Amino acid sequence: MKNNNTNKKNKAAKIIIFIVALTMIISTFATFFAGKGGKKDNTKQVTEESLKNDKNNNKSQPANNDKSKAAADNKANSQITDGLKKAMASAEVKVDKNKVISNIKVNEDVNKIQADKVVEEYLKSIKEKYKGKDIQINVISKGKNVTTSNVYDNIKQPSDATLPTMSLRIEPAITNMDRHVVVTLNTKTPEKYTVKVLGKACRYAKTKGFFHTVVTTTDEAAIKKGIQVVLNK
């Protein structure tokens, strides 16, 4: 009887030991696989974030470089060199009864942006002197005409005598079939007006004090007739 009880106790102890050992083994495996899965997810997250950051850095860096380069190019292209200043000072000027023709001859390469800048600056120096006359300005680089700008002064709006008079500058735009039109109103408050050329609204350049737009025509007579000035309400 005593031996039977001893055997039962030994058997129960073995079962308990087996269950404990099995529990420990299962717990160990669970911890191992959980750690492996977390490491994989963490590695994946870090990798994805790294790739995203690298992509953003690579994307923004060329954009910033391109923007800086474009700004530098525009500044260089629009620069009025000492040679251009001398050419402006020694421009050939022919004065007729109602028109002035100025030829600015340059012995260096001049691009369109520079030529337009030269016209703008040169016009400031002679506009008052030849007030009331039409002005034609030609920028000639090494014998080749880069741009021709025609300026018409004291234009009136026949439809309304209360509107301010204006000066008009017409010059080639990006292509020879387009014209860049600059309208300057003879008033201290140009921002109170809206200007259209051939039905196309002009943009007001506040720092310059003029309105301008580009129209697809070379007919300057039509452009002059197609200017509309309206007082804003």
pLDDT digits (tens, 9 = 90+) for 52-73: 555 555 555 555 555 554 554 4
Buried b / exposed e across 1-15, counting CB within 10 Å, b at 16+?
eeeeeeeeeeeeeee
Instruction: State CA 87 to chain mean position distance.
Output: 31
149 - beta bridge partners? 137
pTM listed for this prediction: 0.63
Q: What is the pLDDT of residues 127-176, one digit of tens each?
A: 889 988 999 999 999 999 999 999 998 888 877 888 999 999 999 998 88
Q: Is the pLDDT of residue 205 over 90?
A: yes
